[in-house]
Structure 1
């Protein structure tokens, strides 16, 4: 974030009067709220940035999806297990740790396994799809075809995870399959047992101690232990594995242990990672065995609504449910809109399971909320701020007990896996340049927004903690944190506008701190992107409000989202200019009001022009920029020229480097006479001439032109655009002299830098243009 600094004519390319630190809040004078005596001046950290920089930071730090971007002790029971004591010897586990000693006493009569019906396994086999082998390059010639579903006895592909696990299961009669809980790993384990020859199946209790597992094995049976917990505190050691294998061979049975994505196994059997096939392949496998009303599977998979749902990573179980929904659509019992909404239904179901689960602690749920707020953001940031939220939630749930945050609790990998999220590395943009960070993102892209909506509307008891947390985030020195606070408030505004306005956005907008007001503007802008109602009405009302803080928020809000309704936004900004002049000038608490108004107009014009250019809709771009001169009547003329100067400053690079955006817009416009692009070019040139011939704005305009010429030194496209622009600016002899003097005396960056070579070439162009104009004037007409 680049705060402007005081300068009599403004930084080059930033306009005639840069933004300054806000003066002391004004006394009651009809232009703002009265403030208490002794209120401090705004500090340096409250200096606001250029409106275009605010817009760029908002888009840089917002989630992508927004912008298109869950020991009992009683009687004789200790820990739930009892073992016998005989002859002074204790049989069973004795766990020693610190000052805690647990004795497991008595005989265990609880049944620790249960039959899985063979019919259930066969039904599962009819829909099962084997994943392909991972390979670099082409498929080997001897590879067997991969089963795509519908044939339970089809061959699996050599080298695939299924083939590797099956080979181990046949050799050791034991296989260890690891992966995320949502990958269909339990179904894969049952298919492994079936492929190994099992015809009866039993599910074993995953809480069984490792030493007890061999005693639970049945003769000639396929055994499954799903969700077996193994980690540093409970590793699978070599003697455990060999004891199991020995017992399995003796009983002619098989066992598949299904563990999490981070197993701790010491020798004996190599764990096999399980990844499901592509979602489309899974879906096809389920659909081939369903009544789809005579429709082909390929036809159904090609539907836009189906492709949209498959574009988001989701659990295998959700894919199976989606197949049922598609079959219902094919039979005419579900509409196409309901089919396309399946992803939202699935995300809502998952979020409600997290919040309703008694197995997830308040600490876990605070992490989920923080992850939803900081989806696609660095993991350490999420973990740090989730602990702050946990403390606030703990005060509501148990105010008499202080929050106890485990310093070294669940590992980051386990926390991320429990949240059905992924970690990845990606450069994070900072004011010093990109920095590689470990980030976290929900696998289902719909989860974050769904979770925030659910916690705000479905759990109102959490609102005081959420509001306090977001207010703290909005005052954080890190831009990404402040932006995510605003983004979260935007989701809440979209879900419940009155509450979000009353509890968060309105109080931010009326705050004396610029950070808080920027958070309000960001929240309104993102809420509009999410479809919240009445955002334009709120901005229009605040833009002429008596409180200058509300006016500032509205003006900055137009810079962020005004390109969505440009005519209305420009009219509101123009009316604000007239209101300022009617009050006799800027508000006492907002000394740079003129510049903020001009910057917002410049930002929304630049954004609208860029969007129109991306669509090659030059008529829309030309119409947008033609609107600006039409406002230049009376008191608004200065506003128009200042807006033009501010529009010339932003570039496509960081720290003012790169090609100026307005010059790029000029370069991309179609120059052929009679085209909309030519109209746009002439509109921009006319505004440039007005700036250069204005007594107040001329100095800032010339500074901007110097920056444009320097930017063209190593940019041939920018130089070509200047060669086409400068002739349009030279209408009078005064225009020729002004530009010639600028190019003759231009120096590179730094006091001793030589003149840029591009300046000399452009000077020659100006001279030639002047000579041609003189020759034309001297030649008599015939």
Structure 2
């Protein structure tokens, strides 16, 4: 039994809700679809970019937080009680450079410890001061920083310096770079004159970089191992409890679900101390498993909250520029976690500019041309760099990649910036829209997925500031980004009906750009609620674009998790009385034979196709899902035997087989499949159809 001949039924026999666009000419012959809606942009490398975006941003957090928590209190002023010093001696873990730090402090009377908050700098400073105070018979005190931006406030606080005493001082995070070194010069002279000692805590940033370059006052601080800090605190907290509780707490700390809930490669010492308290409470039965995991999941959001509270302290430019750059770097890392350093750095600079002109529209910020210390900026963002790979489609290239030291930091930063700081939304939205116009999939795909995540957090705002502007541009990349963002947003069940309704209206509207965006969005199979519903929407849209965009979206669905559903719809469309749907089935079949699998990436995981990413989709499906063979054969037979598609199908089949000829594995798959083309179920094809297929094969 041969495939049915091409029926020329009137095109007005359509469902009432079909798109009211004039039917194509009846005499039009189908050609092999060339490329995708983006003419190649977003294909090579898009699969990897989408996969990494999913991995870094698809971590569930709670609902949007309406306001930021109060800023943390500074270090308390005044003498450090003996009980606190005694506890410090029991719990403190010396860092590798402890002896060198003590020697420099004894010799120069002042030491600046440069490192990030929460890493144990304060405890190390107190430990150093306590050691020297024991030798001199003095005490240890904390100093408050009362000056707005410089020495007067500090010098006022040290007027009553006592001989032989040790003092701990923390400079504010926004300490001006130019004032830090002169301030420390004066403090050093003051404490040397009084034969006292001072440890100054300096947060990472321009001031710390300048001090470390000078090599006179400062040393870089490296925290002790978190495991050692955790064990010390657990031992202290459970010292007078039954012996089994300590082992229980240690075993709980090693549980995979706790590590996953933390989402940090290694907690900082301050975090390890907090975790020890929660583990001890859990071991004693005062904290349930669920509550313990909730506490652990709060660590990354807490870190993000602290970062953005720090960034808000300096209120004007140019003093605020270092803090804005640090915030921009963290947000860029949240979007491009694991990407090439060049991508992250450029994105961060673009966002820093947006933040600066939002804060002060009259100020045009420049860029520093030289970095003080390679990697210093990454350390302030709890990020590291290393070797990575970027996929370019036919090849991969090595890159210097950067990533957060913890998988929960990226979504925590993105959510905190969006939910907790409304005035950040405008510059972030403009920044993401600009990134979505970058032709590199390593950029626009990641930006589009991030935009979708943010739309799901606040759909009304995201629709107006992200989705609509992207969909209504003349840039095909931005329209594809809009479709990707809307599909990503529709993962949220509470947002999906709104996205579906929007796409439904676009599909029936007069704006060609909106119709195309709707067709592209349904290619992900998310917005309509199911793959079957997405196929139905694409079938309605087929008349609007002659199958160009809709066939690409159908084949993208075919490369997804439900190929059987797609193949069933295609074979059903072959028998449809509406030519647009028959043509859509034929064009999708031609695309499946000619399009590389990795170019048809989606927003879901399809691990069975990954080993065949470089193969044409049809070959990959035959290898990974042999049960798809009969329907693929039926579709290809129809394309080869129907007059409207026969020429294009012959060319596609020839190219398909020739491509497989250079790969023994692909050739073996095709050799198993091609005999199906000469058989329609249990019956042979009629002589005419069999002759046409035989001629194609003999022409190779």
TM-score (norm 1): 0.63
**CA distance in 2: counterparts of 1:353 and 1:387, whole angstroms:** 17
SS state at 2:644 partner = coil
Alpha-carbon distance change, 722 to 350 in structure 1, aligned in 2, over 3 angstroms: same
Q: Which residue does 2:38 correspond to in 1?
A: 48
Q: Which residue does 2:56 correspond to in 1?
A: 65
Aligned pair partner of 2:541 in 563, 576, 583: 576
Q: Which residue does 1:201 correspond to in 2?
A: 140
Alpha-carbon distance change, 574 to 52 in structure 1, aligned in 2, over 3 angstroms: farther
Q: Which residue does 2:677 correspond to in 1?
A: 729
Aligned pair partner of 1:606 in 546, 559, 563: 559
Aligned pair partner of 2:511 in 540, 547, 552: 547
1:493 equivalenced with 2:455 (yes/no)? yes
1:90-109 mapped onto 2 (5 Å cutoff): none
**CA distance in 2: counterparts of 1:507 and 1:214, whole angstroms:** 57
Q: Which residue does 1:597 correspond to in 2?
A: 550
**CA distance in 1: counterparts of 2:77 and 2:262, whole angstroms:** 36
Stretches of structure 2 lacking an aligned partner (at least 5 in a row)? 1-18, 23-34, 61-75, 601-611, 680-684
Alpha-carbon distance change, 409 to 221 in structure 1, aligned in 2, over 3 angstroms: same
Aligned pair partner of 1:644 in 584, 589, 609: 589
1:311 equivalenced with 2:263 (yes/no)? yes
1:97-176 mapped onto 2 (5 Å cutoff): 114-129=78-93, 160-162=96-98
1:505-520 mapped onto 2 (5 Å cutoff): 505-520=467-482
**CA drift at 1:518:** 1.8
Task: Say whether the 8 Å CA contact 2:43–2:598 is kept in structure 1.
Answer: no
Task: Say whether the 8 Å CA contact 2:114–2:219 is kept in structure 1.
Answer: yes
Cα deviation digits, residues 654-695 of structure 1 (max 9, x gap): 8999322331232234xxxxxxx5x33333333333333333
1:503-542 mapped onto 2 (5 Å cutoff): 503-529=465-491, 533-534=495-496, 535-542=499-506
SS state at 1:640 partner = helix
- Structure number with greater CO (CA < 8 Å, separation at least 6) is 2
1:26-425 mapped onto 2 (5 Å cutoff): 48-49=38-39, 53=43, 56=47, 59=50, 62=53, 64-67=55-58, 114-129=78-93, 160-162=96-98, 178-193=114-129, 198=134, 200-203=139-142, 219-222=163-166, 224=168, 226=170, 260=204, 262=209, 264=212, 271=219, 273-278=221-226, 280-290=227-237, 294=245, 296-313=248-265, 315-330=268-283, 331-333=285-287, 335-336=290-291, 338-339=294-295, 341-343=297-299, 345-347=301-303, 349-354=305-310, 356-358=312-314, 363=321, 364-365=323-324, 368-369=327-328, 371-373=330-332, 374-376=335-337, 377=339, 378-394=343-359, 398=360, 401-405=362-366, 407=368, 415-424=377-386
Rg: which structure is higher?
Answer: 1
Task: Say whether the 8 Å CA contact 2:471–2:483 is kept in structure 1.
Answer: yes
Q: Which residue does 1:715 correspond to in 2?
A: 663
Task: Say whether the 8 Å CA contact 1:236–1:265 is kept in structure 2.
Answer: no
**CA drift at 1:181:** 3.5
1:454-469 mapped onto 2 (5 Å cutoff): 454-469=416-431
Alpha-carbon distance change, 568 to 526 in structure 1, aligned in 2, over 3 angstroms: same
1:682-697 mapped onto 2 (5 Å cutoff): 682-697=630-645
Alpha-carbon distance change, 344 to 221 in structure 1, aligned in 2, over 3 angstroms: closer
**CA distance in 2: counterparts of 1:553 and 1:647, whole angstroms:** 21
**CA distance in 1: counterparts of 2:299 and 2:507, whole angstroms:** 39
**CA drift at 1:385:** 0.8
Alpha-carbon distance change, 184 to 692 in structure 1, aligned in 2, over 3 angstroms: farther
Select between 430-439 and 314-323 the one with higher mean Cα deviation.
Answer: 430-439
**CA distance in 1: counterparts of 2:172 and 2:418, whole angstroms:** 35
**CA drift at 1:31:** 5.2
SS state at 1:712 partner = helix
Superposition CA RMSD, Å: 4.9
**CA drift at 1:520:** 1.4
**CA distance in 1: counterparts of 2:592 and 2:58, whole angstroms:** 23
Structure with more helix by fraction: 2
**CA drift at 1:491:** 3.0
Alpha-carbon distance change, 63 to 350 in structure 1, aligned in 2, over 3 angstroms: farther
**CA drift at 1:524:** 0.9
Task: Say whether the 8 Å CA contact 2:455–2:462 is kept in structure 1.
Answer: yes
**CA drift at 1:316:** 3.3
**CA drift at 1:118:** 3.2
**CA distance in 2: counterparts of 1:371 and 1:699, whole angstroms:** 54
Stretches of structure 1 lacking an aligned partner (at least 5 in a row)? 1-28, 33-44, 70-111, 132-159, 581-585, 587-591, 610-620, 670-676, 747-782
SS state at 1:560 partner = coil
Cα deviation digits, residues 361-392 of structure 1 (max 9, x gap): 65433662464144335243124312431354
SS state at 2:453 partner = helix
**CA distance in 2: counterparts of 1:163 and 1:568, whole angstroms:** 68
**CA distance in 2: counterparts of 1:231 and 1:129, whole angstroms:** 31
**CA drift at 1:553:** 0.9
Q: Which residue does 2:6 correspond to in 1?
A: none
Alpha-carbon distance change, 339 to 240 in structure 1, aligned in 2, over 3 angstroms: closer
Task: Say whether the 8 Å CA contact 1:177–1:274 is kept in structure 2.
Answer: no
**CA distance in 1: counterparts of 2:254 and 2:357, whole angstroms:** 47
TM-score (norm 2): 0.69
